[in-house]
Chains A and B, each alone.
Chain A
Amino acid sequence: MAQRIDVKDLNIYYGDFMAVQGVSMTIDPKSVTAFIGPSGCGKSTFLRTLNRMHEVIPGAHVEGKVEMEGVDLYGPDVDPVAVRRSIGMVFQRPNPFPTMSIRDNVLAGVKLNNKRISRSDADDLVESSLRGANLWNEVKDRLDKPGSGLSGGQQQRLCIARAIAVKPQVLLMDEPCSALDPISTLAIEDLIQELKQDYTIVIVTHNMQQAARVSDRTAFFNIAGTGKPGRLIEMDETATIFSTPKEKATEDYVSGRFG
């Protein structure tokens, strides 16, 4: 179910501005890959190119290849909508649909696509997704209440439930815990460990401990200066990155000497 992603020589642009340059990496299936690096080095930008969310910004485009199981996602006959169906995304700020109930938020991927689903299938999907996101017990009695009435951490888990309800192969998470308290953060980290059984997970985080705790491999991005493009400095087993990185910059960053 989970798939491997190969990125080859990817340059990412906002209009004329090159935000990320020359990234090549492999993301293993059924593992957690963490992206770390100083603010503005292009982690979010790179993450969004993995499911073609980058191009919804006017003027944004890429050069290079992103391959999933050998298929170039930026190939001419690939539908970005289909890409996004198999590569889900959780955003930094929880963004449940304010007009929908908790239940409908989970079913959003089905309902917004005008797909028919039987009542019992829908119930099962809602329960399994919410259980998958560790939220079921907290909301099972208020499924018809609006999703925006939940706490921030609950909303974020609702967004995760919504993302896994469309059964993607890959789940991209952009700083999913940055707005959350330590308990919700732990809940989501546990969740990531569970989701790893079925999904390929890529997570952006500013929290070194978090990267060390949840990820199998870590990629360090850096930027030479303002206006310069961000680059992938090094990528390795998480343990290696945090103990014996090859690059000086990585060592400085993970040991807190800059960034």
Chain B
Amino acid sequence: MQTSQEFSKAEKFWMNFKLYQFWRFIVLNLKILAAVYQSKRS
């Protein structure tokens, strides 16, 4: 069942690169808010 799939070095770098992650933090917040307000929230 086990496979050898792993994250690449580049992916791991971006996951921990704080400046990029700060940008992602803003994007993720906006993305979640947009998705929630797009949904019915009737």
Partners in one complex: no
